[in-house]
A and B are shown apart, each in its own frame.
Chain A
């Protein structure tokens, strides 16, 4: 097979069909980058989830002087503190892995640190407004939460028991929803890309029906007649993939790395993860365009 002849034919095909080719490349690029973004999201969510699952705790907030809870009668007392502390320590080794007490001053210091860029807010809050709390680390968060919860909930001096996992679950539901939306849009675009590939190849074959007719007459093999069209699809797919790669790197460095700033822990995706997604996107792009072209040609370029 004479490669320069084939490439010349591809070039002619792509140029004659310029608007369709550009549309095809853009649609492939966007669908691949959305697909890739979805994959990056999945990786991101699972990596943060594993991280958080090892960290979550139950926070048991104690009453402050201003607590609205009817269970509270002003600031918690030393006796109440001792009682709760004893309950929790007695569960140690069975349900409770670790207990850590945070008094007003420590909690306030942490609060000030979290809201360091909002001094106006910090200045309205006094140390006593921030409740002291027991931070409880569970042996098995799924199994033990209810036991510990019922042991301390409603005990004198306890204002509120918060399972951090439920807060995180809301956050993860949001992320999951976002991910699903991205993947669904990506799949719709993939369908659009398939139809567009098929149309572009048909148009291209129609544009060159004179050439292909002569090729058939003089006895060119099917492979020879179809190869330029097939490669045309694959090349458009590859160009779309190159654009998608740029977009994915953008998504990773602008979006996901910025997201990273809101976590004080390292849960970022490695370059390896990104490369994996990009390579996968290439396979999807090339296969998608190649297979669609092939099937289209089988139907419209009979010998």
Chain B
């Protein structure tokens, strides 16, 4: 589903590589943790997979597409197959829960009838039943992240990329968020989650890829966060 072949990324005006010779394959339906200290290249990995950046070297395949050969005008179609969740939620403050989720479908031109059917289903899936009309400011951090996940998942992407989704959330609430991610993963969606949260990684017992200074230093099938931290 995601394949990095010897990928190196050097940002302009930087002498150190953000990613160096990264070579990995993530299969369809996998749940993968991406761990490592700040600046280890986790975010660069996600940005490259989204084709927000192009690699300096190497080849990236996402959902069967070679990103180097993907023309600009087809990038939006790639992104429709990838959902994204961030540490800072990125909700629209002037739209309700329902409108925030529906927005993701409106802007890719889905018919209104389809939106009316699908959006409530997804809101229920992330555990926000009965809160359709709340505004983001009326929700807790955990609830806001659920809205963000509903928005990421509403178009049924093949891949969900989560960049420290529990970074702004207390540990108790994080468990709920992880349950939702797990539920999404069980529908067959590949989930890649970058995180610092050792407790979560240890409790989930999923594949763990550890990055350090842009290199893969560990790739374990049922891993833990690691002793060093």
Q: A218-B104, A218-B108, A218-B151 are in contact. Are A211 and B92 (CB under 8 A)?
A: yes
Residues of A within 8 A of B73 (CB): 221-222
Residues of A within 8 A of B103 (CB): 211, 214, 218
Closest A residue, CB atoms, query B75: A303
Instruction: Judge whether A303 and B90 touch: CB under 8 Å.
Output: no
Residues of A within 8 A of B109 (CB): 1-2, 224
A13 smallest CB distance to B (angstroms): 13
Instruction: Judge whether A220 and B108 touch: CB under 8 Å.
Output: yes
Instruction: Judge whether B104 and A214 touch: CB under 8 Å.
Output: yes
Does B107 have its Cβ within 8 Å of any Cβ on chain A?
yes
Does B39 have its Cβ within 8 Å of any Cβ on chain A?
no
Does B205 have its Cβ within 8 Å of any Cβ on chain A?
no
B106 smallest CB distance to A (angstroms): 5
Does A114 have its Cβ within 8 Å of any Cβ on chain B?
no
Residues of A within 8 A of B113 (CB): none
Does A167 have its Cβ within 8 Å of any Cβ on chain B?
no
Contact with B along A217-234 (1 / 0, CB 8 A): 111111011000000000
A17 smallest CB distance to B (angstroms): 15
Q: A1-B109, A2-B106, A2-B109 are in contact. Are A218 and B92 (CB under 8 A)?
A: no
The complex places the Cα of A214 from the Cα of B154 at a distance, in Å, of 14
Residues of B within 8 A of A211 (CB): 92, 103
Residues of B within 8 A of A220 (CB): 76, 107-108
Of the candidates B76, B78, B81, B109, the one having the most CB atoms from chain A within 10 angstroms of its own CB is B76
Does B79 have its Cβ within 8 Å of any Cβ on chain A?
yes
Residues of B within 8 A of A224 (CB): 107-109
Residues of B within 8 A of A222 (CB): 73, 76
Of the candidates B81, B84, B104, B112, the one having the most CB atoms from chain A within 10 angstroms of its own CB is B104
The complex places the Cα of A1 from the Cα of B151 at a distance, in Å, of 20
A35 smallest CB distance to B (angstroms): 37
Interface residues on B, range: 20 to 34
Instruction: Judge whether B92 and A219 touch: CB under 8 Å.
Output: no
Residues of B within 8 A of A225 (CB): 107
Instruction: Judge whether B84 and A210 touch: CB under 8 Å.
Output: no
The complex places the Cα of A220 from the Cα of B77 at a distance, in Å, of 8
B200 smallest CB distance to A (angstroms): 24
Instruction: Judge whether B76 and A219 touch: CB under 8 Å.
Output: yes
Does A216 have its Cβ within 8 Å of any Cβ on chain B?
yes
The complex places the Cα of A214 from the Cα of B85 at a distance, in Å, of 11
Give which listed residue, B72, B77, B84, contacts A217 with CB less than 8 A. Answer: B84
Chain B positions 148-164 with a Cβ under 8 Å from a chain A Cβ: 151-152, 155
Does A175 have its Cβ within 8 Å of any Cβ on chain B?
no
Instruction: Judge whether B79 and A218 touch: CB under 8 Å.
Output: yes
Does B80 have its Cβ within 8 Å of any Cβ on chain A?
yes
The complex places the Cα of A218 from the Cα of B91 at a distance, in Å, of 13
Q: A217-B79, A218-B155 are in contact. Are A5 and B92 (CB under 8 A)?
A: no
Chain A positions 205-253 with a Cβ under 8 Å from a chain B Cβ: 210-211, 213-222, 224-225
Instruction: Judge whether A219 and B90 touch: CB under 8 Å.
Output: no
Residues of B within 8 A of A213 (CB): 90
The complex places the Cα of A238 from the Cα of B90 at a distance, in Å, of 35
Of the candidates A5, A213, A225, the one having the most CB atoms from chain B within 10 angstroms of its own CB is A5
The complex places the Cα of A225 from the Cα of B75 at a distance, in Å, of 13
Instruction: Judge whether A219 and B108 touch: CB under 8 Å.
Output: yes
Closest A residue, CB atoms, query B104: A218
Contact with A along B89-116 (1 / 0, CB 8 A): 0101000000000011011110010000
Instruction: Judge whether B76 and A5 touch: CB under 8 Å.
Output: no
Instruction: Judge whether B80 and A218 touch: CB under 8 Å.
Output: yes
Instruction: Judge whether B106 and A219 touch: CB under 8 Å.
Output: no
Give which listed residue, B78, B81, B107, contacts A215 with CB less than 8 A. Answer: B107
The complex places the Cα of A217 from the Cα of B50 at a distance, in Å, of 8
Instruction: Judge whether B72 and A219 touch: CB under 8 Å.
Output: no
Contact with A along B42-58 (1 / 0, CB 8 A): 00000000100000000
